[in-house]
Amino acid sequence: MTVSSGGPPNPDMPAEPLPPDAVLPGGGVPDAFGRLWTPHRLAYIQGAGKPTGPGAEEGCPFCVAPTLTDEEALIVARGELVYAILNLYPYNSGHVLICPYRHLADYTDLDAAESAEFADYTVRAIQALRTASGPHGFNIGMNLGSVAGAGIAAHLHQHVVPRWGGDTNFMPVVGRTRVLPQLLVDTRKLLADAWPQK
């Protein structure tokens, strides 16, 4: 049971307020703040799944993902040269990444066929998201190099982030927390079912 004091009524809170000098075993002194626990973020903070080096054999998650089932890897769709996968640490619900199978770091290293399918899968991701969840807009882009913000700079990937009017709120700014209304496995199934075929 999560116990906090203050804030709006919470069914997990005790029926009567805790006295101000109460000390919870292992929990410290209650304050006026509610808590939103996101233990799944600890893996990201600790760098779990990050490659140990720039090579494909050094733990690149974008090289490992295609060797797993779609459900295990959260792959939405597979093409001949690229695939679409959900971001494990999404900016918004439905945040898709388009990745080439080939381990390369720079957009200019894609050959013509990879580049065409990369663009096609970006279009299909937009179409699937529109069908599945009706976003009002999108952020689409890539970060080339770690100084540009790439979390995994050694393997090219493009972000397709659905956006809705009013989807920005105080949580990311003040709480440094994103609120996602759906589990990733459920989002993956929804988008896989809505993925346009050729």
Angle of CA points 73, 36, 86, to nearest 5°: 20
- Do residues 128 and 115 make contact, with C-beta atoms less than 8 angstroms apart? no
Strand arrangement of the beta sheet that strand 82-86 belongs to: 75-78, 82-86, 96-100, 158-163, 137-141
Q: Where are the alpha helices (DSSP H) in 40-169?
A: 41-45, 61-64, 70-73, 112-133
- Provide the token pair at 74: 């959260």
Residue 47 φ/ψ region, left for φ over 0, alpha for ψ in the -120 to 50 degree band, beta for the rest: left
Catalytic residue IDs: 157
